[in-house]
């Protein structure tokens, strides 16, 4: 039995953060019903690529769900959406602030229909505060909440992350909050309202960069592929390619110097410990880079792997998907001829399940309606 078998989720969410949360709960065994407008989730049209009318973007975050299309603005949809709320343990929505209220699916209304419901609201900037009514998009939040200011080359424009990391992390935060709320309800019988914002999630993701500003009062700097607090911990160039070297402890630094046959670096007062190496990063990195450029990537991989020092080639997305670890760990999956990346959640007693491919729009209407009739929620 999966961990969330028997838990029913109503997903009134679109694009990525809300659907990512819904898919995670579905992988864990929850029955997720995705309510879409008649035009479908926006991401159904985000492509190419498409396969059999399904966009790759939609597919990445909507497996294990059942789809029904409803226009919540129409009075005739009211009995059905109320029935879906009544039978649900969890409701996920990511409307713009005020949108859920205008459609009659806000927390106050849902709580009257189902007092025990766990209602998870995902927004760009929170449901209160000066920007509550602004739309929230991952790219804009990466910019406004600080991530882009520390991402990209030192002397070039700021860059966004290559994936929508703020959306995905917000979906993960929503999942954690929902699971905690389920435990709370088991203990007390109480449902509750949960609120997750992309802006606050991105602030959290600043982690040591934000902490450094709070400690020092100084602005965080963009360092390209260097680390603000650890040296050497960055990208280097071999004679035929790039690699990441992560020397994240004094033991590793000693092992690195030994592997490179550079004992003089250990005795140099400029590099005596990590704090000194951070202050003197420019001279150290220049010396190391000159050395690394003299040999091939394979040479450095063999040398550092033998010494137990973290080194990694910079793989393409295709190379990462075809990586031996990806294959060995079962992270390439296929459901109904749809290829996807699997769940990283490995659980010995209640493993994740892959039951349904990402649904076509309104694919499960008849099944859902029949279930609601059998349960007496609608006539």
Catalytic residue among 41, 106, 167, 240: 167
Q: Give the C-alpha separation, 355 to 2, whole Å.
A: 12
DSSP 356: -
Burial 312-347 (b: 16+ CB within 10 A, else e): eeeeeeeeeeeeeeeeeeebeeebeebebebbeeee
Give, in degrees to the nearest 5, the angle at Cα 90 between 178 and 369.
155
**Whose structure tokens read 């804009």?**
140
| Residue 41: active-site member | no
Give dist(CA 305, CA 249) in Å, integer: 16
End-to-end CA separation in angstroms for the chain: 32
Q: 211 to each of 149, 203, 273, how far by Cα in Å? A: 15, 10, 21
Within 8 A by CB and 6+ apart from 8, the residues are 30, 31, 33, 87, 88, 89, 90
201: its two tokens? 């999630």
Active-site residue set: 167
């Amino acid at each position: 039995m999966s961990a969330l078998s028997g838990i029913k989720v109503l997903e009134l969410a679109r694009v990525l953060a809300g659907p990512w949360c819904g898919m995670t709960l579905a992988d864990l065994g929850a029955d997720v019903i995705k309510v879409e407008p008649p035009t479908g989730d926006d991401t159904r049209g985000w492509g190419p690529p498409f396969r059999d009318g399904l966009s790759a973007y939609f597919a990445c975050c909507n497996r294990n769900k059942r789809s029904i299309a409803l226009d919540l603005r129409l009075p005739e949809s009211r009995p059905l959406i109320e029935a879906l709320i009544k039978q649900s343990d969890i409701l996920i929505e990511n409307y713009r602030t005020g949108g859920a209220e205008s459609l009659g699916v806000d927390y106050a209304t849902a709580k009257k229909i189902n007092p025990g419901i766990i209602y998870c609201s995902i927004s760009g900037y929170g449901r209160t505060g000066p920007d509550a009514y602004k739309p929230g998009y991952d790219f804009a939040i990466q910019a406004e909440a600080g991530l882009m200011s520390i991402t990209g080359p030192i002397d070039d424009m700021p860059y966004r992350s290559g994936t929508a990391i703020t959306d995905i992390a917000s979906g993960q935060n929503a999942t954690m909050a929902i699971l905690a709320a389920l435990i709370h309800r088991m203990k007390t019988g109480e449902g509750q309202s949960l609120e997750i914002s992309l802006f606050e999630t991105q602030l959290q993701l600043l982690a040591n960069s934000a902490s450094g500003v709070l400690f020092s009062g100084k602005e965080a700097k963009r360092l390209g592929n260097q680390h603000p607090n650890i040296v050497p911990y960055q990208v280097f160039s071999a004679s035929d390619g790039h690699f990441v070297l992560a020397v994240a402890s004094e033991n590793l630094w000693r092992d690195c110097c030994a592997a490179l046959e550079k004992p003089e670096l250990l005795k140099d007062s400029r590099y005596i410990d990590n704090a000194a190496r951070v202050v003197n990063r420019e001279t150290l990195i220049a010396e190391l880079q000159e050395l690394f450029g003299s040999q091939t990537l394979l040479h450095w991989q063999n040398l550092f792997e033998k010494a137990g020092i973290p080194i990694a080639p910079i793989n393409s997305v295709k190379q990462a998907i075809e990586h031996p670890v990806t294959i060995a760990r079962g992270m390439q999956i296929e459901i109904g001829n749809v290829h996807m990346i699997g769940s990283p959640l490995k659980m010995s007693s209640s493993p994740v399940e892959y039951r349904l491919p990402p649904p076509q729009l309104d694919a499960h209407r008849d099944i859902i309606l029949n279930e609601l009739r059998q349960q007496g929620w609608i006539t």
